[in-house]
Amino acid sequence: MVSNFRELLARGANLPKVFVLSLLSALQLHNNEIMDSIFDSRLNNGRWEIDRSTIKLLRKLGAGQFGEVFEGLWNGTTSVAVKTLKNGSMDAEDFLREAQIMKRLRHAKLIQLYAVCTMEEPIYIITELMKNGSLLEYLQKDKGSTLSFSDQIEMAAQVASGMSFLELQNYIHRDLAARNVLVGENNICKVADFGLARVFMVSRTKQRTSLNYGTKFPVRWTAPEVIRYNKFTIKSDVWSFGILLYEIMTFGQMPYPTMTNYQVIQQVPEGHRMSCPLKCPKFMYHMMTECWNGKEQERPTFETLLWRLEDYFEQDVSSYDDANNFH
């Protein structure tokens, strides 16, 4: 019986990486289910409210527009991440929407919700803890000196896997970026921050979810149709995934590094696209440009992106070293 990631990696040393990665994902999903059962056994009538006195905040992991994230300990034994809402920073119902969405979304590449504390301020959302923080910080911390191209492909594939599930469930993330992907042990990546996500239903007539005027959104990750019309579809998430690929291949470089936000808003809808990053293989840049297609209906699905990345991942890594494959 394989009991942990390290043992699995050791036993799978001679297996294809995609197969080992799939086993790792299955094992982590099993661990998440165990955590769910631990929390659920202490919740009454299916509710997921817990007593905040059972949560001890240990250290701050980060802060954003609406709140802070801490490493915490539940009941003195279980490591968790705790997201808090700054008093008065936004409507509590908006904050809790994230928890409502996360509770319904169960996938190995999505951050899993464990419980909430909403009876007093600050509100807590308790999730699984990812020890290595955001993908953006992880990429930037050593300028990629410890990450191989194979690692980059693996990370991209994991994000595509999580987003493919959202696509299947008719959900739109609306804020996909390296800062909103979290990294655990063995480069395990999971999509986080569903605070802007809105469910959308696919019917005979295409329905879209509109962004309220005045709402802030990250323009460098935003599709042209969102900039122009303030409307989102899963295809605008695909555009953002292309930007995330750029972040991965540049080890966390800011998109459109020589442009201001205003220039991005003005020029991207008119056809401007980033050039291929240094040492980026042609097929990866081609995938980026497919995601950045000005005609949203012609962008690939996340399912297609996932199988392409998995196909690349299974190839002999030495094939990537051919200078003809790079720009």
Per-residue pLDDT of the chain (327 residues; tens, 9 = 90+): 444 444 544 455 555 555 555 555 555 555 555 555 555 544 443 467 899 999 999 999 888 767 889 999 999 999 999 988 877 766 667 777 777 787 888 999 999 889 989 888 888 989 999 999 999 999 998 766 789 999 999 999 999 999 999 999 989 999 999 999 999 999 999 999 876 555 343 332 344 455 544 456 689 999 999 999 988 899 999 999 999 999 999 999 999 999 999 999 999 999 999 999 999 999 999 999 999 999 999 999 999 999 999 998 777 555 554 544 555
Q: Give me the catalytic one of 175, 316, 321, 322.
A: 175
Q: Is 57 helix (H, G, I), strand (E, B) or coil?
A: strand
Is 142 a residue of the active site? no
Numbered residues of the known binding site? 83, 179-180, 193
**Amino acid of residue 179:** R
pTM (global) more than 0.85 = no
Numbered residues of the known binding site for Mg(2+)? 180, 193
Numbered residues of the known binding site for ATP? 83, 179
Question: Which of 242, 224, 222 has the alpha carbon at shortest distance from 296?
Answer: 224
The DSSP symbol for 274 reads: P
Distance (Å, rounded) from C-alpha 39 to C-alpha 113? 10
How far is CA 25 from each of CA 92, 156, 193, 200, rounded to the nearest angstrom?
33, 14, 20, 27
